[in-house]
Amino acid sequence: MNFEVWPEAVELGRLFAEQGYELALVGGPVRDMLLHRKSHDLDFCTSARPEQFEPILKSWGHDGFWDMGRKFGTLGAMRRRKDGTEVQVEVTTYRSDAYDPDSRKPEVSYGDSLEGDLSRRDFTVNAMALRVPDLEFVDPFGGANDLAKSVLRTPVNPRQSFDDDPLRMMRAVRFVAQLGFRIEPETAEAIMDMSDRLEIVSAERVRDELTKLLLSDRPRAGIEALVESGLADFVLPEIPALQLEIDEHHRHKDVFEHTMMVLDRAVALETDDDGPVPAPDLKLRLAALLHDIGKPKTRRFEVGGKVSFHHHDAVGAKMTRKRLKALRFDHHVVDDVSNLVDLHLRFHGYIDEPWTDSAVRRYVKDAGDLYERLNRLTRADATTQNRRKEQMFAAAMDEMEQRVRDLKEQEDFNAIRPDVNGNEIMEILQLEAGPMVGKAYRHMLDYRLDNGPVDHEVAVAELKRWFEEQSA
């Protein structure tokens, strides 16, 4: 088998061989090489212990060195090429990971052979290696054949593999999304039977796998696999809960199927790097996935057989915040995704009665930095099969966005403030700092949003009029 290998990998292999140590390129880089995909980082394993290969790695990686993974037998280094690009490598001693039944972190024990190390890998497609510098291809578990068939299978018994590291079950559904693979039946059955084992894995590690899944080319396929496997019951239980029973007259949509459609449509509405929502956008994709999770809690059967989900946006926003916090997402992600869920129905009233300029300003002001994402989420959520309704909705969105562009030519929405500031309010009304000043400020902000920019004298007159009304 012929390989076009990074020269840095061959060079590093020679340095290890000179000291009597084995070195092999392993895992993702080998898989990607066979798929003709680019790998930016190179992973190796070696017969040497960290203290033995640390000097080799430091001498090779003269532009950077790190040892955060030392307790797991891993050291890393970086080198810059002449063209300015970087090559990052991580080298790990042959090892096996196993979980104590009550532990959230793997226990590391060193191994003594490449084949033994590969047997402890997650899937056969990641259990291939290329010895360097000799370029000997090592594939003891048929990974190349599984790769050709787009099949995910564990090198050893899947139950043993998932017992050793339950996070591998999340990686399986992530690879469904990233690579378009299918999970081999015995492996899929083991995941369904052992899904509760995922509870011992830290929320941060689960979050990282979910993030990679959502940022992949096929997030819908990954989420569907997450639900079918039973893993979603422990990661995102709100998603399988969307599989509501449909009433016999089909008076409401299948919420789970609708959500999958919205996720697909949101991905399609992302932009290139020069656009306002460059793909892949984690916040938009999370919002598309979670926007209707409030529906099961708010479903009501009304008189006449109709089904309603009143306030599912507000309920869903609270549920979104709670779930994303539990998964240890960054607070900016938690805030923004929750706000998108809360606002995702805001535009719908525009179709029946086009907004005033004041309402348009409020929409943009409330959306803030999320404006472009919110519009894409709103468009993605319009999954009606009625062609006429679809056209009306799209036309209304187009019209509203044009009005926003026209208004932005006249004023800077991001800088909208009352025409009198807090200090002026205290001076004009002869007030000390306190709740009444805040109340006056909020009134003047509402006045500014309703009327656009006005002369200072007009704003002062309105402030005085309002204050007299409050006093009365």
CB within 8 Å of 124: residues ≥ 6 apart: 141, 142, 143, 146, 153, 154, 155
Q: How far apart are CA 429 and CA 440, in angstroms?
A: 10
Q: Does domain 150-235 have CATH number 1.10.110.30?
A: yes
Structure tokens at 273: 């790097």
CATH topology of domain 242-415: Hypothetical protein af1432 (1.10.3210)
pLDDT in tens, 109-160: 788 899 999 998 999 999 999 999 999 999 999 999 999 999 999 999 999 9
Range picked from 30-44, 71-85, 285-299 for highest mean pLDDT: 285-299
Question: Under a CB-based contact definition with an 8 Å cutoff, are residues 360 and 400 in contact?
Answer: yes
- pLDDT above 50: residue 250: no
Q: How far apart are CA 191 and CA 197, in angstroms?
A: 9
Q: What per-residue confidence (pLDDT) applies to 468?
A: 81
Q: How far apart are CA 260 and CA 111, in angstroms?
A: 43
The CATH superfamily assigned to 1-142 is: Beta Polymerase, domain 2 (3.30.460.10)
pLDDT in tens, 44-62: 999 999 999 999 999 998 8
Closest CA to 260 of 372, 343, 380: 380
pLDDT in tens, 420-472: 777 888 888 788 888 888 888 887 787 777 777 778 888 888 878 888 888 76
Range picked from 78-87, 247-256, 276-285, 391-400 for highest mean pLDDT: 276-285
**Domain coordinates in residue numbering, the chain:** 1-142, 150-235, 242-415, 422-471
Structure tokens at 401: 């966005």
Task: Give the pairing of strands 136-138 and 41-46.
Answer: unpaired
Q: What per-residue confidence (pLDDT) applies to 412?
A: 63
Helix (H) or strand (E) holding 288: helix 282-290
Q: Cα dist. 439→361, 426, 470 in Å?
A: 20, 12, 10
- pLDDT above 60: residue 84: yes
